[in-house]
Structure 1
Amino acid sequence: MCLGIPGRVVDVVDGEPRTGTVDFDGLRRPVCLAYAPEADVGDYVIVHVGFAISVVDEAEAEKTLAVLRAMPDALANELGPS
């Protein structure tokens, strides 16, 4: 099963495609921002298979992260090795 995981954008690289680094509760991964062009540093995005698919507010992101934190190794398993 694949999940959409919320994370906070920590940097943005304008280019083609637009990319950035997203922090998933301490795990940082490169992400394509082409499908969420409004995403900027500090915003929370939902990421699925390396693509930010929407911007969400911080409260909603924190709710989902709290559920994931309750499952041992859920974030690490879904995001793969660092």
Structure 2
Amino acid sequence: MCLALPVQIEEIQDENTALANIDGVKKAINVALIEDLQVGDFVIMHVGFALKKLDRDEAEKTLALFSEIDSSLTAGS
């Protein structure tokens, strides 16, 4: 099973690379497939590649859902 995550762009390093915030962890990702990328944008990331821009509201809902799932799994252990 594969999982793509919404991540927020914190810094654009060059035309192909940007620094993304992945739940507090900063990672350089490939953004060559995305046009008109700006700091603060959310993208869907899969295996280090940004696949497409994501609406801020949709990204925040998805991240909240991931957080809720994590909390329920952690509470059960």
TM range (shorter): 0.7 to 0.9
Identity %: 38
TM, length-normalised to structure 1: 0.78
Q: Contact 1:39–1:45 at 8 Å: present in 2 too?
A: no
Give the aligned partner of residue 22 of structure 1: 20
Aligned with 1:71: secondary structure? helix
TM, length-normalised to structure 2: 0.82
The 1-side partners of 2:63 and 2:48 are apart by 17
What residue ranges of structure 1 are gaps of 5+ in the alignment? 74-82
Structure of larger gyration radius? 2
Aligned with 2:65: secondary structure? helix
Q: CA RMSD in A?
A: 1.5
Moved over 4 A (4+): none
What residue ranges of structure 2 are gaps of 5+ in the alignment? 72-77
The 2-side partners of 1:14 and 1:37 are apart by 13
The 1-side partners of 2:58 and 2:39 are apart by 17
The count of aligned residue pairs is 71
Q: Alpha-carbon deviation of 1:67?
A: 1.1
Partner amino acid for 1:46?
A: I
Give the aligned partner of residue 41 of structure 1: 39
